[in-house]
């Protein structure tokens, strides 16, 4: 029996403006991608009329391309109150760890589209969605990185920054699970 190995595409991203001081790295910017799609048809006066709409997704690669159906790519600094999910932009130490993370994301939420792995030089990043908790002031963009410390009992600490719908950045510890 031959197992099929799923590979995620790797793309080059640009430096954004979120700085992780401990790792001395910039996270890539987030882009809202607008796609053209055709909605279901309406029946009016005996005829079918196709309706066009635009749907969107988020990526760390922001290039409009007719071949992929991307009409427009807008750089976003924060999410809007009407966005239905929060985002996690995560730094990984190598593409193998990033790929394993994306497989885990797909295992727990199969309907979530994974946009691949993004590189800025030697730094590797992914983007995924997460449920916006009721206790948050709205959807947030989380930036996460793991810091390794030989002095720690666990050996790893999570660096976490988030940006709220008001555009304000703050250090958070929502995804810190090493207590």
Q: Note the pLDDT of residue 11.
A: 76
Q: Note the pLDDT of residue 53.
A: 52
Q: Note the pLDDT of residue 86.
A: 94
Q: Note the pLDDT of residue 42.
A: 45
Neighbours of 128 (CB within 10 A): 22
Length of the chain: 179
d(CA 146, CA 144): 7
Q: Note the pLDDT of residue 9.
A: 67
Q: Note the pLDDT of residue 8.
A: 67
Q: Note the pLDDT of residue 37.
A: 64
Q: Note the pLDDT of residue 38.
A: 52
Task: Using a cut of 0.85, tell me whether the model's pTM lies above it.
Answer: no
Domain locations in the chain as residue ranges: 10-29+76-171, 32-74
User: Per-10-residue mean pLDDT for the chain, 179 residues long?
Assistant: 57 89 95 72 46 71 78 93 93 92 85 79 92 92 88 78 96 72
Q: Note the pLDDT of residue 154.
A: 67
d(CA 106, CA 108): 5
d(CA 60, CA 13): 6
Q: Note the pLDDT of residue 152.
A: 65
DSSP 138: S
Structural contact between residues 162 and 133, judged by C-beta atoms closer than 8 angstroms: no
């Amino acid at each position: 029996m031959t197992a099929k190995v799923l590979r995620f595409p790797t793309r080059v991203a640009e430096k954004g403006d979120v700085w992780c001081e401990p790792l001395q790295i910039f996270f890539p910017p987030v882009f809202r991608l607008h796609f053209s799609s055709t909605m279901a048809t309406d029946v009016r006066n005996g005829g079918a009329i196709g309706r066009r709409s635009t749907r969107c997704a988020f990526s760390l690669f922001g290039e409009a391309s007719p071949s992929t159906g991307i009409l427009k790519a807008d750089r976003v600094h924060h999410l809007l109150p009407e966005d239905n999910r929060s985002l996690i932009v995560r730094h990984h130490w190598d593409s193998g760890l990033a790929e394993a993370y994306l497989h885990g994301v797909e295992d727990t939420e199969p309907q979530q589209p994974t946009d691949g792995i993004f590189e800025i030089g030697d730094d590797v990043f992914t983007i995924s969605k997460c449920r916006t908790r009721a206790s948050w002031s709205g959807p947030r963009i989380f930036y996460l990185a793991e810091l390794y410390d030989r002095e720690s009992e666990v050996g790893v600490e999570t660096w976490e920054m988030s940006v709220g719908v008001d555009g304000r950045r703050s250090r958070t510890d929502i995804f810190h699970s090493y207590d």
